[in-house]
Amino acid sequence: MEHKTLRSLVKQHGTPLFVVDHKELRKNYALFRKHFPRVQVYYAVKVNSDPAIVETFYNEGSSFDVASMQEFHTVHELIAHLPTKQRQDFIWNRIIYANPIKPNETLQELDQYKPLVTFDNHEEVKKIAKHSPHAGLALRLQVPNTGSMVELSSKFGALPGEAVELIAYAHEHKLVVEGISFHVGSQCTNPQNFIQSLHLSASIFAEAKSKGFNLTLLDIGGGFPAAYDDSVPALSSLAKTINSELNRLFPKTIEILAEPGRFLVASAGTAVSKIIGKAIRSGKLCYYIDDGVYHTYSGIIFDHCVYHMKSFKKGATQLCAVFGPTCDALDTISLAEQLPDLELGELLYTDNIGAYSAASSTHFNGFPPAKVVHVNR
């Protein structure tokens, strides 16, 4: 986003500020659709559940991956104006409740909508059969997460060797398993994770068919990486690899969906903060700003993400530390940023911070989250 625009927004709204560029959201969505023409986009709402962001993707034609009832209701509010039948059809065809572990109360509330939900174990089958018998199921597989920034397979996923038995177990409980889902890990820069996962899924499709179970859906999950730096492979390259295997392994009759989140929103978010303190400690220039890891920079803690601070001011730089405003030493944004010598009240900013970041903001130590401003809506 242009410096002039950011400065103008700060004058109007103050700091800390979290700016969401909806033009960038639409561009990223179109790019994903272009490179994955066979895949239906189910935006992963957890990545940034701001209703305005969800609405932009809804208007672009997106479907949605939700993992809590709050996220479900965020989407539901957008379609509440539809006639009952159309609303039910939308939920069935364009929302997946992709959290494999669900409270009984959630399943009871979901049942009226006949939702598509994921599962990965026997106990979950029994819960769904009792509390949400009208649901359609997708079996979540444990797949390789090698090289991904956030690994997920230690927490979720059935072993491939037990997959067909679990499908049969669900059918014994009068449930219909629609297909298979997997997740290669967040910010996946290793295309082999996708290739191996697709091969595992194809073998399970074949084994299930031999046992009389006709699977019709494949959910290839999320993990599509945001371009945080030059080491991240281009989406076009990753798509070429994935599309080749999809077309080779799965006939056109199989519905393919994906749950991109980070790729769609990361580059659309910019954080702007103000320097509220300055000190020299052990020979290093230290800046204290009015945003931190309990707020927009929460991805440092929860998402294993590295964010870089930038200055609007040009000139010679030096190695600096940047800290957040709270009294907790954990509130450290960076110990090694190249920044110029700045005065109190001057601004720093971080781009590519739209994913997860603001989604985990707290009021720790009494400091409120950054104000969210939407542009180009």
What pLDDT digit, counting tens, does each position of 321-333 carry? 999 999 999 999 9
Q: Is 138 exposed, middle or buried (0-12, 13-18, 19+ CB in 10 A)?
A: buried
The yes/no answer on whether domain 22-265 falls in CATH 3.20.20.10 is yes
- Identify the three-state secondary structure at position 206: helix
Q: How confident is the model at residue 185 (pLDDT cuts 50, 70, 90)?
A: confident
Task: Tell me the catalytic residues.
Answer: 327
Note the pTM of the prediction, 2 decimals.
Answer: 0.95
Domain with CATH 2.40.37.10 in the chain: 3-18+266-375
Question: What architecture is the 3-18+266-375 domain classified under in CATH?
Answer: Beta Barrel (2.40)
Residues making up the chain, counted from first to last:
377
Nearest to 292 by CA among 280, 278, 274, 310: 274
The Cα 118–Cα 99 span in angstroms is: 6
Beta carbons of 31 and 284 less than 8 angstroms apart: no
- Residue 339 sits at φ, ψ, to 5 deg, of -140, 155
Q: What is the pLDDT of residues 72-126, one digit of tens each?
A: 999 999 999 999 999 989 998 999 999 999 999 999 999 999 999 999 999 999 9
Q: CATH 3.20.20.10 in the chain: give the residue spans.
A: 22-265
The half-sphere exposure of 277 on its side-chain side, counting CA atoms within 13 A, is 15
Tokens standing for 272?
A: 């702007």
Q: How far apart are CA 57 and CA 361, in angstroms?
A: 22
Distance of alpha carbon 204 from alpha carbon 249, whole angstroms: 12
